[in-house]
Structure 1
């Protein structure tokens, strides 16, 4: 059987840099996580200890005393499943003869499609270990990880709801980080309506190149990011210090065996989402 390992290493093209810059506006969450750098997995299940801080004890000490008490916070063991993302590329010999860069263009389009699909799963994925038919491993997304910060809204999102979700996160005693709210068009319009008669400004984030709206509250500043992959009835808020992308296999192009009058290959990656603590994720649901 002819395998990709029959090719030289030079023919296996790593696309980890390319995926970071392609389709940023289509994939704001993935682009943000890639800008921070991805972690490395070593198996199909990625496991970590929940990241938590303890603030409920008096640690004042007497000068010169021996240390006899040691603190170890009880932390849950969390995990997520590595999911395989793959898009095939096939271009006929005639098409390549007519336009020599056609195959490269097709690979770029497939890479963008892979990134968009990854974005959807990072937000909406439902965990499946692949032990039953059709045996596809699937990751849990941000919404599935959300813990105890849920806010239910009847009708429309108001300023009080924005404050409430930020206060819920603030109450969790999280480490410092940037707060982002991923919203679809409907909820973004509702938020815009709240502040339409007030002074506002926009700032351009430098970490992943998107223009976002910022709302300042007593409990921190939340950056509102428009994403078409968030369900229309939800706003997903998270602390980016607790969210990471994990690769088992970084995005790469692999050539496939030539079996006829066409050139074939595939764009493939194996990735999952790490949420260091579900307490760092909140979901606002409009009912």
Structure 2
């Protein structure tokens, strides 16, 4: 537990574990990557990695005694910027000394609240962020989010999200030869309702022994191209569905989430919750997107 009596002006308290536990249902993408342990240490504000592409030569058969043809993996360079997330915390001396029912430590409670708020901001950036190097006013570096990495060839458009468009989106990943069978789809409420409607008349209801639950909620769809686990995410654009292989996503922390006490200048305790990180997409081919047309 985070307690204010454990802080000194020279200490930083890591919140790397706590951020994986707060608000998981409101930040499913960030929580998923953290829970998979796909976290790297960045060494600069600009994170650079290579996308490995395998050779696709159709015919490598040769006559007896032939000399080999030498191949090498193409390694395209990809980069993203670390974005700084910062929220301040301040509790007056009187408030800190007061007894509040259900809150044994007001400062710790405020830190936990700011951490949850920060995690929501990070979730939004991981999905919708637009890459910016911060070289112009207001000089804020911004990461490119998941949507910005979708290749043009992996986009499907349509007037509505029906079964054909859903399968066509998943098929894009299969055509790229990812070689896996488990995907994740992020959708907002309207498109989630559209997916539920696809299977409205295509299910069999089995009454549970004790609980009477009724309704149709699609959480997982099996297709010829892989299984898709559908996650409702309120931070997704209402007109888009993103399907991806989670194994290709990583978080790179330049500064993992920490609480830093600030100098005491009056009758209050001050601190800040700060994190600096970015999204790594090891291969953009592992992301496909459906978008509604106007």
Q: TM-score, normalised by structure 2?
A: 0.86
Equivalent in the alignment of 1:27: 27
Count of aligned residue pairs for this structure pair: 269
Q: TM-score, normalised by structure 1?
A: 0.88
Deviation at 1:241, TM superposition (A): 1.7
Compared CA separation, residues 7 and 62, structure 1 to 2 (3 A):
farther
How far apart are the structure 1 equivalents of 2:120 and 2:265?
30
Structure 2 stretches lacking a partner, 5+ long: 1-7, 206-216
How far apart are the structure 1 equivalents of 2:87 and 2:125?
15
How far apart are the structure 2 equivalents of 1:212 and 1:66?
55
Question: Which 4+ stretches in 1 moved above 4 angstroms?
Answer: 59-63, 65-68
Equivalent in the alignment of 1:76: 76
Equivalent in the alignment of 1:47: 48
Question: Which whole-Å deviations, capped at 9, do the CAs of 1:8-49 have from their partners, x for residues lacking one?
Answer: 4xx311011100111100000000110122111100100011
Contact 2:127 2:146 in 1 (8 A): yes
Which of 150, 154, 158 does residue 149 from structure 1 map onto?
Answer: 154
Equivalent in the alignment of 2:224: 218
Question: Which whole-Å deviations, capped at 9, do the CAs of 1:111-150 have from their partners, x for residues lacking one?
Answer: 0011100000000000000011110000000111100210
Deviation at 1:178, TM superposition (A): 2.9
How far apart are the structure 2 equivalents of 1:188 and 1:76?
35
Contact 1:177 1:241 in 2 (8 A): no
Compared CA separation, residues 175 and 47, structure 1 to 2 (3 A):
farther
Equivalent in the alignment of 1:112: 116
Which of 266, 280, 285 does residue 279 from structure 1 map onto?
Answer: 285
How far apart are the structure 2 equivalents of 1:28 and 1:282?
18
Alignment of 1:1-287 (within 5 A): 7-8=9-10, 11-37=11-37, 38-59=39-60, 68-99=68-99, 100-147=104-151, 148-154=153-159, 156-176=160-180, 178-199=182-203, 213-287=219-293
Contact 1:176 1:241 in 2 (8 A): no
Question: 1:42 aligns to what SS in structure 2?
Answer: coil
Question: 2:124 aligns to what SS in structure 1?
Answer: helix
How far apart are the structure 2 equivalents of 1:77 and 1:175?
22
Q: How large is the Cα RMSD of the aligned pairs?
A: 2.1
